[in-house]
């Protein structure tokens, strides 16, 4: 720590504050945050001052909207504290006369977008737009914080994590008679029904091949997890625009027409929130709130208070009573998590601290790239030129953004500085990730989990599917498939980490079949089994139809390993 602080001061003293010099902040910023955590007394004081930050959300469930109030503690410092420290370092770096204010010349060096990297464009004369409270021809710490906070963007974001298997077109094509149910016969004949989707003619159906028509295999391979806001079942209620969106979607999904002279509204028993507070909102006592009353409710919703401690990976709800029939507690099966039914949907709430139990993703990222620095410094001159830097493959990072002093050399210190600021700034954003942990029909039929369905998995699939037949009528309805939403609250990952290291839900490995070469069985059987699924179809068999039927002892249209051995 002492060595690094000395290094930072020496580097800073050697240069005049400028856009080129701002990279120093990348090293100074972690120093400030580490300092906040250094001593027990200081850490406790910071934690108490920061406290939990509240975010109101509305979950649009199958039976109605449910309001949640997340009381989030991210550790000794909250998101606001991290952002304020960041602004303070910008101020100290640019404040050459040390008076705690930025004059015209100093303010002109403020990074245009708040991103403290070497190539940052500066405000120049535009700094005057920040001078508002009061307008006194200088920038105070509060004015600078307001600017930095705005440019760092939202503090709380909702993301949807999807798996390619969830978009597989399978249930509808199997439902040959279009009655909304899938029978045993329809499953057993499934491969023949879907053979047209076997684009590569390998006698199996992969995840990519079963995407909704007319999506091609190429399009399916490039498809990314959906983040369309219109598809998100959770809306943050921080801004007026977000509340307006929530109002429109709630009324559209659950609203009913009012009596003559009244607009659309929503019945109170279709809202999951504190029931006493809801009753107060119902001004005329008719058991329904109209759009105007609903918008007022969205400003300060009486949501279920959920305590989220990210640093300890714990979520808890102290009081479940009084929030209506749409909010139901379920037995806890895992420590530190909450299981519940929200508007008829099974929901699991959890917090994720990526540092707990081992090396954090951010630290792993830094170690990875610092190792690559050594690897690609081929001439061992302790810096990377532009060609060597390109070998690092830093996503969306330009050479000039890391070259702090503009000398066309990226040193290890400059690279470490860039990585540290990326990791540190991730603490200024909280992300709620929504994922469906239930099994799809594809998952259920894919017995060997190789991301493809072969003829035998269809033939034997009813035995697995029947477990989902809740009413025991011998037919599978789409509603009977298990579904459980998981809400995960965590600090955002650094952008570099998100682009390169975050394991996307639809990686090449998840899209493509996983095939392991079979080494047992007669040689002729292994040679004919082109798709290596352990069975021979008639199209794979190179003999006569008579020979095929003679070897296929169980008459299921497939020659398996046992039948091949018996034919020897």
pLDDT tens digit string along 238-291?
A: 999 999 999 999 999 998 876 654 568 899 999 999 999 999 988 878 888 999
Distances from the Cα of 445 to the Cαs of 27, 118, 180, 436, 537, in angstroms?
A: 52, 53, 19, 18, 19
Please give the pLDDT value at position 158.
Answer: 93
Q: Are 237 and 298 in contact (CB under 8 A)?
A: yes
For residue 59, the Cα-to-chain-centroid distance in whole angstroms is 17
> Taking 70 as the threshold, does the pLDDT of residue 8 lie above it?
no
Please give the pLDDT value at position 208.
Answer: 78
Please give the pLDDT value at position 326.
Answer: 96
| 187-191, 448-452, 489-493, 516-520: segment of lowest average pLDDT | 516-520
Domains defined along the chain, listed by start: 2-37+79-153 (1.10.238), 169-206+440-481 (1.10.238), 523-566 (no CATH)
Give, for 431, the enclosing helix (H) or strand (E). Answer: strand 430-436
The pLDDT confidence band at residue 351, using thresholds 50, 70 and 90, is very high
Instruction: Give pLDDT tens digits for 443-483.
Output: 889 888 788 899 999 999 988 888 888 778 888 887 677 67
Tokens 């399916």 -> residue: 220
Instruction: Give pLDDT tens digits for 100-143.
Output: 999 999 999 888 765 555 556 889 999 999 999 899 999 999 99
Rounded to two decimals, the pTM is 0.66
| 14-23, 92-101, 103-112, 420-429: segment of lowest average pLDDT | 14-23
> Taking 60 as the threshold, does the pLDDT of residue 44 lie above it?
no
The pLDDT confidence band at residue 401, using thresholds 50, 70 and 90, is confident
Q: Whole-angstrom Cα distance, residue 488 to residue 308? A: 10
Q: Are 552 and 564 in contact (CB under 8 A)?
A: no
Task: Calculate mean pLDDT across residues 424-435.
Answer: 83
Better-predicted residue by pLDDT, 67 or 370: 67
Instruction: Give pLDDT tens digits for 175-187.
Output: 888 888 899 999 9
Q: Whole-angstrom Cα distance, residue 308 to residue 337? A: 9
> Taking 90 as the threshold, does the pLDDT of residue 323 lie above it?
yes
> Taking 90 as the threshold, does the pLDDT of residue 363 lie above it?
no
Q: Are 350 and 335 in contact (CB under 8 A)?
A: no
């Amino acid at each position: 720590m002492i060595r690094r602080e000395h290094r930072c001061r020496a580097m800073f003293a050697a240069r005049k504050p400028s856009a080129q010099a701002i990279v120093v902040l990348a090293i100074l910023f972690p120093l400030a945050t580490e300092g906040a955590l250094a001593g027990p007394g200081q850490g406790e004081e910071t934690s108490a001052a920061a406290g939990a930050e509240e975010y109101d959300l509305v979950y649009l469930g199958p039976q109605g909207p449910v309001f949640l109030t997340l009381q989030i503690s991210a550790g000794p410092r909250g998101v606001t504290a991290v952002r304020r420290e960041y602004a303070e370092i910008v101020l100290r770096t640019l404040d050459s006369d040390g008076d705690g204010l930025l004059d015209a010349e100093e303010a002109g060096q403020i990074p245009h977008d708040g991103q403290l990297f070497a190539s940052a464009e500066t405000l120049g004369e535009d700094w005057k737009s920040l001078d508002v409270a009061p307008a006194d021809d200088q920038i105070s710490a509060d004015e600078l914080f307001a600017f930095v906070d705005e440019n760092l963007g939202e503090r709380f974001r909702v993301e949807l994590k999807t798996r390619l298997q969830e978009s597989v077109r399978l249930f509808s094509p199997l439902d040959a008679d279009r009655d909304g149910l899938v029978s045993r016969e329809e499953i057993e004949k499934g491969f023949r029904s879907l053979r047209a989707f076997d684009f590569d003619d390998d006698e199996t159906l992969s995840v990519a091949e079963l995407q909704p028509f007319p999506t091609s295999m190429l399009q399916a391979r490039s498809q990314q997890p959906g983040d369309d806001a219109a598809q998100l079942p959770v809306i943050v209620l921080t801004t007026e625009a977000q509340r307006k969106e929530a109002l429109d979607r709630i009324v559209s999904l659950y609203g009913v027409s009012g009596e003559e002279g009244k607009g659309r509204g929503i019945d109170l028993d279709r809202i999951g929130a504190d029931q006493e507070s809801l009753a107060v909102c119902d001004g005329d006592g008719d058991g329904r709130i109209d759009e105007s009353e609903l918008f007022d409710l969205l400003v300060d919703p009486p949501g279920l208070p959920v305590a989220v401690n990210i640093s300890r990976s714990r979520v808890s709800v102290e009081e479940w009573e009084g929030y209506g029939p749409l909010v139901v507690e379920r037995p806890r099966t895992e420590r530190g998590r909450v299981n519940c039914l929200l508007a008829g949907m099974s929901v699991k709430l959890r917090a994720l601290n990526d540092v707990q139990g081992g090396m954090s993703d951010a630290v792993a990222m830094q170690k990875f790239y610092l190792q690559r620095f050594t690897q690609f410094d081929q001439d061992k001159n302790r810096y990377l030129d532009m060609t060597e830097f390109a070998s690092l493959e830093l996503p969306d990072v330009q050479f000039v953004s890391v070259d702090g002093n503009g000398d066309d050399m990226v040193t290890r210190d400059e690279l470490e500085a860039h990585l540290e600021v990326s990791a540190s700034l991730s603490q200024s954003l909280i992300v709620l990730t929504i994922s469906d942990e239930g099994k799809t029909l594809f998952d259920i039929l894919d017995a060997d989990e190789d991301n493809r369905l072969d003829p035998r998995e269809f033939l034997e699939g009813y035995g697995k599917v029947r477990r989902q037949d809740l009413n025991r009528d011998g037919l599978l309805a789409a509603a009977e498939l298990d579904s459980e939403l998981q809400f995960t609250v965590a600090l955002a990952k650094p952008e570099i980490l998100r682009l390169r290291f975050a394991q996307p839900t639809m990686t090449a490995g998840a899209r493509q079949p996983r095939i392991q070469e079979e080494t047992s069985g007669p040689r002729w059987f292994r040679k004919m089994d082109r798709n290596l699924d352990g069975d021979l179809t008639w199209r794979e068999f190179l003999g006569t139809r008579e020979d095929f039927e003679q070897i296929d002892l169980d008459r299921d249209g497939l020659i398996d390993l046992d039948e091949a051995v018996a034919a020897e």
